[in-house]
Chains A and B, each alone.
Chain A
Amino acid sequence: MNQDKIRAEKYLNASTRQLIWWRYKKHLLAMAGLFCIAGLYVVTIFCEFLAPYDKATFHVDAIYAPPSSIRIFDQDGKIRRPFVYACTLEIDTETQQMCYVEDTDERFPIRLFVRGDTYEFWGLWESDLHLFGVDAPGHVFLLGTDRMGRDMFSRCLYGTRISLSIGMVGVFLSLVLGLTLGGISGYMGGWPDGLIQRIVEVIRCFPSIPLWMGLSAAMPPHWPALKVYFAITIILSLVGWTDLARMVRGKLFALREEEFVLAARFAGAGHARIIFRHLLPSFMSHIIVTVTLAIPGMILAETALSFLGIGLRPPITSLGVLLKEAQNVTTIALYPWLLIPVFFVILIVLSFNFVGDGLRDAVDPYSR
């Protein structure tokens, strides 16, 4: 009985944010998505350390190597700490195809905190410490290697970093554009609204892929990779802001007529106060939802562009760039692990969608 009272008291004094969080927590998939995303962002921050190799290190002795099998039983059936066998490349004399044969004599135990390729951690300090690895000359390729013998697992981690950051930066730019233009449109109404809505309509009329293609084609080919990266994010957000602008405008139109906004006006509040104190907080949560649901779109768009060869270009490694390697049917048939970046894309997109859905259900804690 007393506990009930305390619970009721807690509910009565709860702020909106708390109510949203309580409702969000009940959504299992959304929580799972949230953990995935948190994990993925940790990966993007520490990917130099987490990846056993640098994204560009190539291993001439391991071209198109399949994922290494990690074992704990050795030849004699004894339990050992996880290890891999050494692999040697052999050419099948009949089919003329390369295949890797495990050499069971040589074991390489997988060790934590090994020294390997040197990297510069966020440009702050130099290091060669990696979370795991094996001693040279052994290799551990969790997800195999590509045509230059580069470790796919490491490259996927780096690719996730670029793809996620494109999503974030792109959405941030769309947010700035969408919020200002949608805000002007929704709060002022009248001709500015008409003008902005027409612009939105025109942009949305263009089929997006040809539009992106045109814009990327207009990019000078000699630009450095970093400049291309920023150009691509801008291109993506130029289209992406329209959704946000529409959402912001719609919400503002609805809120402007809300009685509590009228009440603020009648109390004598000025425009700035109404916008920042009453309107923005009221649809902040909706903005977060829209943004969360917009990020996977951005990531997919980047992946598509890079896959088509008009987005990011090597040496920048995004998931789309990685997938470009898997464009050829024979390659996929022979080396199916090159498709593994797709799973990273799916994981990212699904997680964001679950989080977005969960948030959308939770943001209206008053609907009950």
Chain B
Amino acid sequence: MSEAQVLLEVKDLKKHFPIHRGVFKKVVGHVKAVDGVSFRLRAGETLGLVGESGCGKTTVGRMIMGAYRPTSGNVWFQPPNGQPRIDLADIRPKQMKPLRRHIQMVFQDPFASLNPRMTVRQILAEPLVVNKVAKGRELEARVRELVELVGLKLIHLNRYPHAFSGGQRQRISIARAMALYPCVIVADEPTSALDVSVQAQIVNLSLEIQDKIGVAYLFISHDLGLVRHFSKKIVLMYVGRVVEYAPAEPLFARPRHPYTEALMSNVPSTRPEMVGHKIILEGDPADPINPPSGCPFHPRCLYAEEMCATVEPPLMEVEPEHLVACHFADVLNLTGCDALGCAV
């Protein structure tokens, strides 16, 4: 079986935000929000992007959307109509415009991502109108189709966002993202503001849409359990860098990076018998303004040795498709979730 086409290939992507100080806005340093991230997203599949707060997940998503211009690196995008692939990192806004409809985003905050002054009908029609896809009766038909796709009712069309709960708003958000039938959706923590029971609804809806329409997701989350449920492959980030990039199954069976192991063991579990198997890391995640030398994880790593503080480990393939940035990936025998039997 041949693998699906690569839609998006991110290569060594970096984004350093300058820090300005003083009256003359002198640049005194950089927030290395994203500092070398590479991955591939294939048509119709889901790639999970996991990491702790501030590790640069949103920044990666926004660079793909063209909201931030990368400091360096490439975002190769393959338009679905067979044109040659384009580097979104190096493109003028004018050229970006026709490509936008192929890549859409679902935001984290259901209360900020819908314009409070527009009705649901207007919100859903907006992308269609802007891109001159449909007009008049056809527009109305498309809007109705979208509303049904995400499981809302037609009476909701005339309402304003304030009349909806968080979960319903997220449905509207998803409908808006689907309006142009994109081939990639960047979902930035779409469920982290929701209750678990509502989260399950949104997860089911997203899976359903993927099965029906075949869209590819870049699923950004800090919830390993959710990512596992969703994704075929997973990228784990730590302070702007990829520490591990692997298909879900081998990753959870046998993680190769100590950070992955710690993260898996820290996921709170509803099985009381699991308590006590935790790897409690010391300290806080590293500061992206001033990341540690060598391996960024070494100050918190249980297995760190001298060379970790000086030499930065490259992202190496330890098994087919399983990439790890750790000097001792081959030596360490780490316990994955499956062995722990934890909640994930």
Contact = CB atoms under 8 A, between A and B. Distances in A.
Chains A and B touch each other in the complex, with CB atoms below 8 Å apart: yes
A11 B101 CA distance: 34
B126 A264 contact: yes
Interface in B260-299: none
A90 B105 CA distance: 87
A116 B154 CA distance: 65
B248 interface: no
Contacts of B160: 13-16
B16 to A, nearest CB: 19
Interface string A239-283: 000000000000000000011101111111110010001100110
B193 to A, nearest CB: 12
Nearest to B188: A259
Tell me what chain A mostly uses at the interface: helix, strand, loop, or mixed: helix
Contact of A267 (B67, B107, B127, B158): B127
Interface stretch (B39-47, B109-117, B198-206): B109-117
Contacts of B66: 266
Nearest to A258: B112
A16 to B, nearest CB: 5
B56 to A, nearest CB: 17
A263 B115 CA distance: 9
A267 B115 contact: no
Q: Which of the four size classes fits the interface of chain A?
A: 20 to 34
Contacts, number: 78
Tell me what chain B mostly uses at the interface: helix, strand, loop, or mixed: loop
B130 A260 contact: no
A19 interface: yes
Contacts of B173: 263
B163 A12 contact: yes
B109 A266 contact: no
Interface string B150-174: 0000000011101100000000010
A138 interface: no
A12 B162 CA distance: 8
Interface string A3-28: 00000000111111001000000000
A366 interface: yes
Given A259-B113, A282-B115, A366-B116, A267 B131 contact: yes
A259 B107 contact: yes
A65 to B, nearest CB: 56
Contacts of A12: 159, 163
A15 B116 CA distance: 9
B57 interface: no
Given A13-B159, A365-B162, A266 B100 contact: yes
A268 B100 contact: yes
Nearest to A17: B117
A269 B131 CA distance: 8
Contacts of B119: 15
Contacts of B127: 267-268
Interface string A324-368: 000000000000000000000000000000000000000001100
A267 B65 CA distance: 10
B21 to A, nearest CB: 16
A13 B115 contact: no
B221 interface: no
A275 B165 CA distance: 27
A225 B306 CA distance: 86
Given A12-B159, A259-B107, A267 B113 contact: no
Given A13-B158, A15-B160, A269-B130, A263 B105 contact: yes
B116 A11 contact: no
Contacts of A15: 117, 119, 160
Contacts of B130: 264, 267-270, 273
Given A267-B130, A278-B115, A366-B116, A259 B109 contact: yes
23 contacts: A12-B159, A12-B163, A13-B158, A13-B159, A15-B117, A16-B162, A258-B112, A259-B113, A260-B114, A262-B65, A262-B67, A262-B107, A263-B105, A263-B114, A267-B101, A267-B126, A267-B179, A267-B180, A268-B130, A270-B130, A277-B126, A278-B115, A366-B116
Given A13-B159, A268-B131, 13 more contacts: A14-B160, A14-B163, A258-B112, A260-B112, A263-B105, A265-B67, A267-B180, A268-B101, A268-B127, A270-B130, A277-B126, A282-B115, A365-B162
The 6 A-B residue pairs with the shortest CB-CB distance, nearest first, are A267-B127, A259-B113, A12-B163, A260-B115, A268-B100, A259-B112
